[in-house]
Amino acid sequence: MKGRAWKFGDDIDTDIIVPGRYLIYTDEETLAKHCMEGLDSKFSEKCNEGDFIVAGKNFGCGSSREHAPIALKGVGISAVIAESFARIFYRNATNVGVPLLEAPGISKLVEDGEEITVDMENATITSSNGESIAFKKLPPFMLEILNQGGLIEYLKNK
Amino acid sequence: MPTMSEKILARASGKESVEAGDIIIANIDVAMTHDLTGPLSVQSFEKIGAEKVWDSSKIVIPFDHQVPADSIDSANNHILMREFVKRQGIKHFYDVNAGVCHQILPEKGHVVPGEVIVGADSHTCTHGALGAFSTGIGSTDMAMVFAEGNLWFKVPETNRFNITGDLKDNVYAKDVILHIIGKMGADGSTYKACEFAGQTVSDMSVSDRMVLCNMAIEMGGKTGLVEPDKKTIDYVEKRSKKPYNVFKTDLDSPSLNIIDIDVSELEPQIACPHNVDNVKPISEVDVEIDQVFLGSCTNGRLSDLRDAARILKGNKIADGTRMLVIPASKEVYTKALDEGLLKIFVEAGALVSAPCCGPCLGGHTGIIGPGEVSLSTSNRNFRGRQGSPDGEVYLSSAAVAAASAIEGRITAPE
């Protein structure tokens, strides 16, 4: 997978990913419009299908709102790559089919706007100048859930 | 030598013992969802193709976030959830007049020691204050629980905070937990069970213990826990007829990390924008405030209202500052009414609203605008949490909120 990296800092909470006032909506299209609105109100217009989010530690901390990974899926983010993730968000993102790649050192390797390459099979991320780092490989069942587009689709097709 | 989390999860998964790191499937004793995360849970439940919930007596659905409905979209969510409740015969449904989910669950006897509780709300960790293993999950996981009555867990390691020392006057459980979060950081207990123990915790009321457990998630904790004692059992037996199991932690457990915290010199603590771990002693904070919010699943209980009323009695809220008081439940509201607390708030110039989550998450009731500063007794101060991303939220105890409302700036109670 190849795409543009949108870079964010540490402790990106789910109120930033989807502010509380939009939780009354449940459809992907509406939630996508407000994705990352807490920090960048134009994010959903700028983001393209296949782009990546690169972030620091504890991405997705805060509320259990599944609206957050649904919004990321809606804007076409193909994976979030971070130093570390918060617990509830990690589970929710996998359940809705958004890959989360834990890659210590990623925030030093990648600059905002850079095109990066993610190799899911070999668990590596390569920056535009050819430097690579590894991410923690996902177990096969989790890859299968993500390939099917989420837990519900996975169970249906099983 | 297991921890109390390991003992509870062993019981719930039908095993003799489990260890931190094990992946287990636990039977769920209570599953809670509310008006805001409920619709997604119901939609996922229907997408799975499930028809009947596994046990209509183990699901609790309170409406608390957007109540009463503040828009047609909210009203539609309420309609969807009421229809689900009716269709599935859900026994424990609390409509718009009941209160905040994390107050309703213990108050109405849905929580007893030794249970496994899941809620589609991150502050579900509150209920560990009664010795249950209680954790927040997302809507898809909730749909799975609705259908099957169980869920997979990774058994967590435990951070046990051994808290000692007598609290000074005007220092409360909220100050203790803010201090701990400031020390640990927002990810300082990620995927860990956070146990609160020690003499200071033994001396605390059940309400105060709920304050500690409520905020375990703010350092990444999977749950907050307090070992049940006589106070726990008195609280539970008054409210619930369910059987319970008291589990305590063996201090020689290899998955236990003990962290000593001395609170004898602690002064009131403030979490400053825009992260809960940005904690400072109140003597280092001097900020003018536009709005004060007293309420929420953290500090909207009767003891909080009493603490605030004691300070506000006979005083007026500062010109240019507004104060919103929202009791956490109907029971809290009624008792506050009987004790004359609500009159004190109204006479001081505060607005008193019906039980709900209020401005805590910026849904409605007291949203702040650009450049405005809120002092809140709730649990999160993330950027934009209570409205405009250009506003600021500070967190404090109920007593600090009351003293600050009088002065119009963040002030320690005398």
Domains of chain B: 4-261 (3.30.499.10), 271-407 (3.30.499.10)
pLDDT at B270: 98
With 0-12 / 13-18 / 19 or more C-beta atoms within 10 angstroms meaning exposed / middle / buried, residue B239 is middle
Token look-up 């020691």 returns B113
**Which residue type occupies B109?**
G
Q: Which residues in B168-177 are b (16+ Cβ under 10 Å) and which e?
A: eebbbbbbbb
The structural domains of chain A, with segments of one domain joined by +, span: 2-157
Half-sphere exposure of B14 (CA within 13 A, CB side): 4
Pull the structure tokens for residue A12. 């990106």
Q: Looking at the partner chain, which of B37, B363, B385 has a beta carbon nearest the beta carbon of A64? A: B37
Closest CA to A132 of A143, A116, A121: A116
User: What is the rounded distance in angstroms from the CA atom of residue B283 to the CA atom of residue B288?
Assistant: 14
Record: contact A92-B121, CB cut-off 8 A: no
* Segment (H or E) for A133: strand A132-134
**Which residue type occupies B54?**
W
- With contact defined as beta carbons under 8 Å apart, do B389 and A48 qualify? no
Pull the structure tokens for residue B295. 């309420």
The pairing of strands B150-154 and B23-27 is antiparallel
- % of chain B surpassing 70 pLDDT: 100
Does residue B166 sit in helix, strand or coil?
coil
Token look-up 């709005």 returns B291
Mean pLDDT across the stretch B254-260? 97
In total, chain B counts a number of residues equal to 414
Edge-to-edge strand list for the sheet holding A100-102: A100-102, A79-82, A52-55, A2-7, A115-119, A124-126, A132-134
**What are the C-alpha distances in Å from B77 to residues A137, B290, B313?**
39, 32, 40
Nearest CA in chain B to A84: B187
Chain B residues closer than 8 Å to A19 by CB: 362, 384, 389
Record: contact B140-A96, CB cut-off 8 A: yes
pLDDT in tens, A95-107: 999 999 999 999 9
The mean pLDDT value of chain A amounts to 95
In this predicted complex, what is the ipTM?
0.95
Mean pLDDT across the stretch A71-92? 97
- Topology of domain A2-157 in CATH is Aconitase; domain 4 (3.20.19)
pLDDT at A158: 75
- With contact defined as beta carbons under 8 Å apart, do B61 and B31 qualify? no
With 0-12 / 13-18 / 19 or more C-beta atoms within 10 angstroms meaning exposed / middle / buried, residue B356 is buried
Q: Which residues of A touch B (CB under 8 A)?
A: 11, 13, 15-16, 19-21, 23-26, 37-39, 57-58, 61-67, 70, 84, 86-88, 91-92, 95-96, 150-152, 155-156
pLDDT in tens, B288-331: 999 999 999 999 999 999 999 999 999 999 999 999 999 999 99
Q: Looking at the partner chain, which of A58, A92, A155 has a beta carbon nearest the beta carbon of B186? A: A58
Sign, CA torsion A65/B159/B11/B103: negative
Q: Looking at the partner chain, which of A21, A37, A61 has a beta carbon nearest the beta carbon of B363? A: A21
Q: Looking at the partner chain, which of B71, B139, B220 has a beta carbon nearest the beta carbon of A86? A: B220
Alpha helices by DSSP H, listed for B217-372, are 230-239, 296-299, 302-312, 330-338, 341-348
- % of chain B surpassing 90 pLDDT: 99
Record: contact B384-A19, CB cut-off 8 A: yes
- With contact defined as beta carbons under 8 Å apart, do B229 and B113 qualify? no
Pull the structure tokens for residue B317. 């809220």
Cβ neighbors of A140 (< 8 A, separation 6 or more) are none
Tell me phi and psi for residue B254, to 5 degrees: -70, -15
* Lowest mean pLDDT segment, chosen from A37-41, B341-345, B407-411: A37-41
* Segment (H or E) for B116: strand B116-119
CA quadruple B387, B364, B187, B247: dihedral, nearest 10 = 170
Chain B residues closer than 8 Å to A67 by CB: 40
User: What is the rounded distance in angstroms from the CA atom of residue B127 to the CA atom of residue B139?
Assistant: 19
Does residue B202 sit in helix, strand or coil?
helix
pLDDT in tens, B97-155: 999 999 999 999 999 999 999 999 999 999 999 999 999 999 999 999 999 999 999 99
Q: What is this structure's pTM? A: 0.97
Sign, CA torsion B182/B288/A15/B94: positive
SS3 content of chain A, % helix, strand, coil (to 5): 35, 20, 45
Give the closest-approach CA distance of B381 to chain A in angstroms: 10
User: What is the rounded distance in angstroms from the CA atom of residue B37 to the CA atom of residue B99?
Assistant: 16
Closest CA to B324 of B365, B364, B363: B365
pLDDT at B364: 84
SS3 content of chain B, % helix, strand, coil (to 5): 35, 20, 45
**Which residue type occupies A1?**
M
CA angle B60, B62, B63 (to 5 degrees): 155
- With contact defined as beta carbons under 8 Å apart, do A83 and A107 qualify? yes
In total, chain A counts a number of residues equal to 158
The pairing of strands B392-395 and B373-376 is parallel
- With contact defined as beta carbons under 8 Å apart, do B154 and B191 qualify? yes
pLDDT in tens, B337-396: 999 999 999 999 999 999 999 999 998 889 999 999 999 999 999 999 999 999 999 999
- With contact defined as beta carbons under 8 Å apart, do B294 and B326 qualify? yes
User: What is the rounded distance in angstroms from the CA atom of residue B51 to the CA atom of residue B87?
Assistant: 10
pLDDT at A157: 82
3-state SS of B340-389 is: CHHHHHHHHCCEECCCCCHHHHCCCCCCECCCCEEEECCCCCECCCCECC
Pull the structure tokens for residue B220. 């990444």
Record: contact A20-B385, CB cut-off 8 A: yes
